[in-house]
Amino acid sequence: MTQNAEACLEACVSCIEAFNTCFCRCLKEQAHHDLSGCIRLDRECADMCELAVKAMQTDSPFMKQICALCADVCEACGTECQKHDHDHCQACARSCFACADECRKMQRMVLIQNHPLH
């Protein structure tokens, strides 16, 4: 596995941990109905990051598309979490944006590797 893939894989795993923490803590907040968008995106992101991890581990032919979608979902979740003042939401947002960045790097690396002149 390449260095970019390792970094992306680690970012996805860290992100899954942050999502799960944020998800659980949001549900415990008194006004958790106000956090419904955050809670939903936490679950979506965890699922996407798990798929991205599997794609990288199995060298999926769809890795470029999966990493691109994972980055999009992570950015959406990070943007939503950033709106909330809770520490767990802010930590999740930081993790989301870091994961999105690594997924974009991975996507670019796959594009370069699959380029006909490479």
In a domain, 94, yes or no: yes
Determine the structural domain holding residue 70 and report its residue range: 3-113
Closest CA to 48 of 36, 65, 35: 65
Handedness of CA 43, 44, 47, 53 (dihedral sign): negative
Number of domains, the chain = 1
In a domain, 118, yes or no: no
Closest CA to 36 of 80, 98, 75: 80
pLDDT values of the chain reduced to their tens digit, one per residue, 118 residues: 677 789 999 999 999 999 999 999 998 888 777 888 899 999 999 999 999 999 999 989 999 999 999 999 999 999 999 999 999 999 999 999 999 999 999 988 876 666 444 4
- Look up residue 54 and give its two tokens: 């599997």
**CATH code assigned at 107:** 1.20.1270.360
In a domain, 52, yes or no: yes
- Look up residue 84 and give its two tokens: 């909330």
